[in-house]
Amino acid sequence: MLSEYLSLIAIFKFDIPWPTLLPKTWVAILLLVCFCVLIFIELYAPRKKQAKKNLKQSYQTNLGLFLFNNVFMSVLSVTSIFLLAKHYGNDGLLKGVSNPASKGFLSLLALDLVLYVWHRVCHRFDCLWMFHKVHHSDPYLNVTTAFRLHFLEVALTNLFKAVCVVVLGIGEMMALTSEAITTLCIMFHHTNIAFRGEKLLGKVLIVPYLHRTHHSVLRHEHDSNYGAVLSVWDKLFGTHLEANPAAIGIKEHSPQDVMGLIWSGLTMTPPITIQPAVLEHMIAEAAYYKAEKRGFNPGHEIHDWLEAKKEIIAAVYGARQANRLVSNMQMFKQM
């Protein structure tokens, strides 16, 4: 998120000449206005009604984390993306693109793809999910959930983006534009709203109903819809999912206060353990239903069992373990 929100503190002092405000400050003002508008819409026309007590707690915790992260980023001077873009904007992989419009379009596209990859990696590896689970721990999804981030995830994300800016050779204005668009879209798709044409817009952009699936408590549902701006990456890489999650958040207990979340992000979640006999029973039932759907035609028993095992493992342990099973299944078919 843009650290320039801190500059808004100075704006409320009326001794600043508005025409001379820096582009970063104008972007911060615009995003603040959009944030307030989205808050207003979700309060008066929510997709799902939330108890005032729960929503108030969510707002306080998420905005508290946002302020903590901005102070942390300012003290450590981690947000040097724009400085790097200013010095290395004419180098990198996009150096050969001479047309400014084409370079700008490719820069936005590349940074959005980079965020998709990074988000997916945060779900795949436990050492990163440890931080990212803080974001998923909000059981009351709303616009402020966009800012519910662990400070180490913020630092690593900015470091990753900074490397990509240098490697690609993205200029300062394009980096600022990308950050503004991404922040606006992330606020938008976390908002607790529904609107006409949402599914149509979702064919191109990540919209609230798609991202709501991503915040499901079920692992096989929240390992989907990783996009920040565009939904085409999920469709292209097979992670697109449309579902109506029964519950939002994470299965394990999670604190709902700022310091509790910061500490929980530094601890590894213990793995889920299920007795082998129970797991085998679940797989057997799933395989039976698959056989029933095709009329119990013989010759597919092993295939049904393997597919059922993949689905059960994905639901219980997540996509990472399921992917290992897929590899084993492919080896089995080649034998």
Q: Is the pTM of this model over 0.85?
A: no
Q: What is the dihedral of CA 315, 320, 322, 327, to 10 degrees?
A: 170
pLDDT score for 282? 76
Residue 146 lies in a domain: yes
What's the Cα-to-Cα distance from 72 to each of 66, 142, 256, rounded to whole Å? 10, 24, 20
Query: Are 81 and 148 members of one domain?
Result: yes
Query: Are 67 and 182 members of one domain?
Result: yes
The 10s digit of each residue's pLDDT in 89-137 is 778 888 888 888 898 899 999 999 999 999 999 999 989 999 999 999 9
134, 265 contact by CB (below 8 A) = yes
Query: Are 242 and 312 members of one domain?
Result: no
Provide the greatest CA pair distance for the chain: 81
The 10s digit of each residue's pLDDT in 192-249 is 999 999 999 999 999 999 999 999 998 889 999 999 999 999 999 999 999 999 899 9
Query: Are 155 and 283 members of one domain?
Result: no
**How many angstroms separate the CA atoms of 56 and 88, rounded?**
43
Residue 270 lies in a domain: no
Query: Are 34 and 106 members of one domain?
Result: yes
pLDDT score for 323? 58
Top mean-pLDDT range of 12-21, 248-257, 302-311: 248-257
Residue 201 lies in a domain: yes
Query: Are 223 and 326 members of one domain?
Result: no
Residue range(s) defining the domain that contains residue 14: 3-264
Q: Provide the percentage of residues in the chain whose pLDDT is more than 90.
A: 44
Count Cα atoms within 13 angstroms, Cβ side, for 193: 20
End-of-domain residue from the set 211, 238, 264: 264
DSSP 75-111: HHT---HHHHHHHHTTSSTTTT---HHHHHHHHHHHH
pLDDT score for 296? 72
Residue 269 lies in a domain: no
What is the sign, positive or negative, of the torsion defined by CA atoms of 14, 61, 221, 128?
A: positive
pLDDT score for 35? 92
Residue 271 lies in a domain: no
pLDDT score for 266? 86
Query: Are 251 and 285 members of one domain?
Result: no
What is the sign, positive or negative, of the torsion defined by CA atoms of 187, 192, 195, 200?
A: positive
323, 238 contact by CB (below 8 A) = no
Query: Are 137 and 208 members of one domain?
Result: yes
pLDDT score for 290? 75
Residue 228 lies in a domain: yes
Q: Which amino acid is at 298?
A: P
Domain count across the chain: 2
